[in-house]
């Protein structure tokens, strides 16, 4: 038994040695097949030219604007190329400003490469304009490049009040490469402007000379004053009042002056008072096509009997109320 | 030749006058101001100058109608005057203070005026009227019921009320207690008095009894003595 065991152990050892030898041979053979002999592998890849475009902010707000007031060309939008590899020229176009059926022409928005302290620059159009604002070529060390463009806006006289919206669209282009931005995270900016209602007043003439009038005489109600609203956008009511006629320490009553919406051939109409009254005369709402609107008021004078001679003056106040 | 120059001057004057002008304007919207009694409210709007010249202006406050048995609200406007630069705006602030004594749902109305102060007063010979320009707002003010107090004020008031009630109850209870104590004391004193008087009465009774007993004894003694005397007298007589 002991002898068998010994034999068995020897046999096992022999088998193990044979297996190890076979494995070594196998590894050696494989290694020969994958030779470590040196050589050259050439790798190549073609990197294309690419322009990226991202604009910020996505919205700009010009706030409350009245007609005839401009927003200076200093509203900033930044055009960024994040990861492209060639320079590009910024292109921009815009839509008309719209509030329901009311519009403001796109050309009332101006753009400029630098911030300005006035309303000036180049008018926006509804087709792409090459601004020559260059977004520099991104590089390995500076993979994000950008440039700025500034906007200003004007509200034409007679523009109806409301919250207007305009869409600005951007493109980046490299003419040499005939390439436009390929991937955009954002390329449109929405502009907002709230046009408030306003009314203006401009009177002509600013004085009336009734001439020489005798006591107990009168002047027909045909002295004209024109009340004009240049550029407002809402209708206005005309209010009026006056003071007494004064010459030194002498005076006679305000009510001796009459007013009327239409020209009269006689001394007749409504007596002027010393506190404001609504005449019922409306200065119409100006419009974009007719930004100046007006209405008329006529005056007449009766000098009371016994009024001492002299130069008398009265102050008449005309107000527009909207 | 002279006519040509004259015409040229007129043309230039016309062009210049159209280029250089001032135009006063205002933001649209008539103020309708609701104010709770005892509080105030504000309404703001813009006046504008769309021209290329400055405009000096002044404010004329509205004259409100009078409502009997109610005080007219106070209207304050800022600024009251100033100069509008070319192509500029100015915010006008109307502040209304409603007296606390006024009733709610009353309305006042008046006209707020912004008048252009013209540096040039056109003097005319004969009968001349000078025309002033301005813009105006028809201000309507309505009184509302008083504002509710903030909720924390109600909490504070409730706490104060609770404290006051607690103090009152405490004082009442203390007074009662004091009365009760006083009553107890007086009862105690009365009991002692009664006891004292009872014991006195007892004593008096005792004394009286004693006195009576003594008297009785004396009588008895006297009687006995008399009887004894009588007996002895009888004996003596018998002898």
Least Cα distance to B48 among A161, A197, A108, A297 occurs for: A197
Partner residue opposite A201 with nearest CB, options B46, B125, B135: B135
Contacts of B24 in chain A (CB under 8 A): 200-201
- Helix or strand or coil: residue A129? strand
Distances (CA, A) of B169 to A145, B159, B164, B182, B200: 81, 15, 9, 20, 45
pLDDT of residue B11: 47
Q: Which residue has the higher pLDDT, B79 or A24?
A: B79
pLDDT of residue A155: 95
Q: What residue of B is the nearest CA neighbor of A210?
A: B127
| pLDDT tens, N- to C-terminus, chain B (239 residues) | 555 554 554 444 444 444 467 899 999 999 999 999 999 999 999 999 998 899 999 999 999 999 999 999 999 999 999 999 998 999 999 999 999 999 999 999 999 999 999 755 544 555 789 999 999 999 999 999 998 878 888 888 889 999 999 999 999 999 999 999 988 888 887 777 666 667 777 777 777 777 777 777 666 666 666 656 666 666 665 55
Say yes or no for a CB contact (<8 Å) between A198 and B132: no
Contacts of B128 in chain A (CB under 8 A): 207-210, 311-314
CA distance A241 to A275: 5
Domains of chain B: 2-117+131-144 (2.60.40.10)
| Dihedral class, residue B156 (left if φ above 0, else alpha if ψ from -120 to 50, else beta) | alpha
| Radius of gyration of the CA atoms of chain B, in A | 55
Helices marked H in chain B = 2-19, 151-238
Distances (CA, A) of A98 to A65, A104, A106, A260, A294: 15, 7, 10, 41, 27
For the entire predicted model, the pTM comes to 0.72
Q: Please report which helix (H) or strand (E) contains residue A21, including its range.
A: helix A2-33
Domains of chain A: 52-195 (2.60.40.10), 202-321 (2.60.40)
Give how far A181 is from chain B: nearest CA, Å: 42
Say yes or no for a CB contact (<8 Å) between A275 and B125: no
Contacts of B123 in chain A (CB under 8 A): 313
Q: Please report which helix (H) or strand (E) contains residue A32, including its range.
A: helix A2-33
Residue A3 clears pLDDT 60, i.e. is over it: no
Whether this model's ipTM surpasses 0.85 comes out as: no
Q: Which residues contact A140 (CB under 8 A, 6 or more apart)?
A: none
Q: What percent of chain A has pLDDT over 90?
A: 78
Give how far A213 is from chain B: nearest CA, Å: 7
Q: State the CB neighbour count (10 A cutoff) for residue B238.
A: 6
Residues 209-238 of chain B with CB under 8 A from chain A are: none
Say yes or no for a CB contact (<8 Å) between B136 and A320: yes
Determine how β-strand A59-65 pairs with β-strand A129-135. Answer: unpaired
pLDDT of residue B225: 62
Say yes or no for a CB contact (<8 Å) between B126 and A275: no
Partner residue opposite B128 with nearest CB, options A199, A225, A313: A313
Give how far B62 is from chain A: nearest CA, Å: 10
pLDDT of residue B19: 46
Give how far B22 is from chain A: nearest CA, Å: 8
């Amino acid at each position: 038994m002991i002898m068998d065991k010994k034999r068995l152990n020897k046999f096992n050892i022999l088998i193990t040695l044979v297996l190890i030898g076979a494995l070594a041979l196998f590894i050696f053979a494989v290694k020969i097949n994958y030779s470590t002999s040196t050589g050259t592998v050439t790798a190549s890849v073609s990197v294309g030219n690419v322009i990226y475009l991202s604009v910020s902010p996505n919205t700009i707000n010009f706030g409350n604007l009245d007609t005839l007031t401009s927003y200076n060309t200093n509203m900033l939008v930044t055009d960024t190329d994040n990861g492209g590899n060639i320079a590009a020229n910024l292109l921009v176009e815009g839509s008309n400003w719209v509030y329901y059926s009311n519009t403001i022409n796109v050309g009332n928005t101006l753009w400029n490469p630098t911030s300005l302290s006035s309303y000036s620059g180049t008018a926006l159009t509804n087709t792409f304009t090459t601004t020559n604002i260059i977004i520099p070529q991104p590089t390995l060390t500076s993979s994000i490049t950008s440039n700025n463009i500034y906007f200003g806006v004007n509200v034409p006289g007679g523009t109806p009040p409301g919250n207007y919206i305009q869409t600005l669209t951007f493109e980046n282009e490299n003419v040499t490469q005939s390439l436009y931005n390929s991937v955009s995270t954002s390329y449109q900016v929405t502009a907002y402007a709230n046009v408030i209602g306003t009314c203006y007043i401009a009177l002509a003439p600013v004085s009336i000379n009734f001439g020489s009038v005798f006591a107990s005489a009168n002047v027909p109600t045909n002295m004209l004053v024109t009340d004009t609203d240049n550029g407002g956008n809402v209708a206005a009511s005309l209010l009026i009042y006056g003071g007494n006629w004064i010459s030194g320490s002498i005076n006679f009553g305000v009510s001796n002056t009459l007013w009327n919406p239409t020209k009269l051939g006689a001394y007749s109409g409504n007596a002027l008072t010393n506190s404001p009254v609504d005449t019922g005369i409306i200065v119409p709402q100006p419009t974009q096509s007719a930004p100046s609107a007006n209405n008329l008021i006529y005056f007449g004078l009766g000098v009371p009997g016994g009024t001492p001679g002299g130069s008398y003056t009265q102050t008449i106040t005309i107000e527009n109320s909207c | 030749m002279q006519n040509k120059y004259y015409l040229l001057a007129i043309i230039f004057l016309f062009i210049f006058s159209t280029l250089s002008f001032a135009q006063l304007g205002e933001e649209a919207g008539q103020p309708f101001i609701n104010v709770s009694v005892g509080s105030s409210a504000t309404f703001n709007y813009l006046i504008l100058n769309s021209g290329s010249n400055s405009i000096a202006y002044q404010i004329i406050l509205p004259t409100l109608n009078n409502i009997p048995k109610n005080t007219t609200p106070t209207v304050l406007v800022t600024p009251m005057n100033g100069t509008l630069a070319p192509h500029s705006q100015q915010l006008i602030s109307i502040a209304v203070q409603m007296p606390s004594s006024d009733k709610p749902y009353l309305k006042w109305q008046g006209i707020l005026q912004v008048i252009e102060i013209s540096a040039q007063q056109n003097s005319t010979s004969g009968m001349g009227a000078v025309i002033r320009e301005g813009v105006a707002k028809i201000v309507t003010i309505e009184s509302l019921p008083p504002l509710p107090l903030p909720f924390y004020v109600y909490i504070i008031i409730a706490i104060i009320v609770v404290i006051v009630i607690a103090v009152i109850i405490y004082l009442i209870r203390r007074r009662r207690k004091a009365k009760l104590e006083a009553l107890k004391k007086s009862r105690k004193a009365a009991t002692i008095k009664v006891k004292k008087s009872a014991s006195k009465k007892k004593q008096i009774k005792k004394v009286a009894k004693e006195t009576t007993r003594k008297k009785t004894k004396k009588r008895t003694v006297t009687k006995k003595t008399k009887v004894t005397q009588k007996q002895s007298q009888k004996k003596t007589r018998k002898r």
